[in-house]
Amino acid sequence: MKPIAQIKEPITHEMELFEKKFHLFMSSRVALLNRITHYVVNRKGKQMRPMFVFLVAKMVSKGEVNDRTYRGASVIELIHTATLVHDDVVDDSNRRRGFFSINALWKNKIAVLVGDFLLSKGLLLSIDNNDFDLLKIISVAVREMSEGELLQIEKARKLDITEEVYYEIIRQKTATLIAACCSLGAASVKPDSEHVERMREFGEMIGMAFQIKDDLFDYGNQKIGKPTGIDIKEQKMTLPLIYTLNNCSEKERRWLINSVKNHNKDTKRVKEVIQFVKNNGGLEYAVTQMKMYQQKAFDILEIYPDSPYKASLEIMMNYVIDRKK
């Protein structure tokens, strides 16, 4: 059985019901919106975020979920989808998960408005049901994701990013949403309990490992949906590169910075940078840090008794760093 199928097995019923509810939550009186959201829903990804919500909820409550859990999972998926739609506009990207992006099919103006619609749907779903604790969790995540993206843009202009700042960027950009999923799952069934913060931290650790793994793909040769070297071409300072910059001679450092700043569109030069990072231990260091975050997540789960939901979360943690794309 494939890892995703294994992970989903104890929550198969919940995920099927979630999909039906999610379709209803996305509906609108505007025909164009319904056509676009139908296109979005039918090209869904692995749905890891709702899976986190249901698995955590069932783990901390001995198998129970409720309407709040479904709303929490739907809010996360609505917000996540909104950010992807907006990201494609910002990045001027024409593809998403192998299909045309919304901005490619319906142009930027409509894509931005659809993203806004999905965002407002998510917020209203919480407000209309008085899920104010869930709304606070997701609102903090949206704020942090925006701050993380802007911090990355700011640092890319100067290329003065430290390892500490890098961790803050990926915490905000990626880890905060997975942390919100886990926190929401716990809060939906055990509001105001110690599980809410503990699961937030658990999700954050997984999110950190997930993003470092993503950054490592830039140095590999697998077909992963983005060509290797794209982070360098976009002047994104990722962990392998930061480590190498901090552990090479001044002359090599100047060459690296000059390459990323002024020659990032030169395919030959980008390949040389990738090789230099590989030869100077950048990848090994990033893998060590990724596994450290993964271990921290495992340590948090230790206090919970064995269950099918805990087992699925453990498979998920291994999948995050073993995945090929």
**CA angle (139 as vertex; 17, 146 as ends), nearest 5:** 110
Calculate mean pLDDT across residues 162-189.
94
Q: How far apart are the first and last CA of the chain?
A: 18
Predicted confidence (pLDDT) at residue 56 exceeds the cutoff of 90: yes
Predicted confidence (pLDDT) at residue 66 exceeds the cutoff of 90: yes
Predicted confidence (pLDDT) at residue 108 exceeds the cutoff of 80: no
Calculate mean pLDDT across residues 87-105.
65
Share of the chain above pLDDT 70, in %: 89
The per-residue pLDDT for 181 is: 96
Indicate if the alpha-carbon torsion angle 208, 212, 215, 220 is positive or negative: negative
pLDDT band at 92 (very low <50, low <70, confident <90, very high): low
Radius of gyration of the chain (CA): 20
Are 172 and 253 a contacting pair, CB within 8 Å?
no
Higher pLDDT, 228 or 320: 320
Closest C-alpha to 144, from 214, 231, 204, 232: 204
Higher pLDDT, 35 or 301: 301
Higher pLDDT, 258 or 91: 258
Q: What is the pLDDT of residues 74-85, one digit of tens each?
A: 999 888 888 777
The per-residue pLDDT for 86 is: 64
The per-residue pLDDT for 144 is: 94
pTM: 0.88
The per-residue pLDDT for 185 is: 96
The per-residue pLDDT for 9 is: 93
Higher pLDDT, 284 or 39: 284
Q: What is the 3-state secondary structure (H, E, C) of the chain?
A: CCHHHHHHHHHHHHHHHHHHHHHHHCCCCCHHHHHHHHHHHCCCCCCHHHHHHHHHHHHHCCCCCCHHHHHHHHHHHHHHHHHHHHHHHHCCCCEECCEECHHHHHHHHHHHHHHHHHHHHHHHHHHHCCCHHHHHHHHHHHHHHHHHHHHHHHHHHHCCCCHHHHHHHHHHHHHHHHHHHHHHHHHHHCCCCHHHHHHHHHHHHHHHHHHHHHHHHCCCCCCCCCCCCHHHHCCCCCHHHHHHHHCCCHHHHHHHHHHHHHCCCCHHHHHHHHHHHHHCCHHHHHHHHHHHHHHHHHHHHCCCCCCHHHHHHHHHHHHHHHCCC
The per-residue pLDDT for 82 is: 81
Predicted confidence (pLDDT) at residue 29 exceeds the cutoff of 50: yes
Higher pLDDT, 205 or 153: 205
The per-residue pLDDT for 99 is: 64
Number of CB atoms found within 10 A of residue 7's CB = 23
pLDDT band at 90 (very low <50, low <70, confident <90, very high): low
pLDDT band at 276 (very low <50, low <70, confident <90, very high): very high
Phi-psi region of 84 (alpha: psi -120 to 50; beta: other; left: phi over 0): alpha
Computed over every residue of the chain, the mean pLDDT equals: 86
Predicted confidence (pLDDT) at residue 158 exceeds the cutoff of 60: yes
Predicted confidence (pLDDT) at residue 225 exceeds the cutoff of 50: no
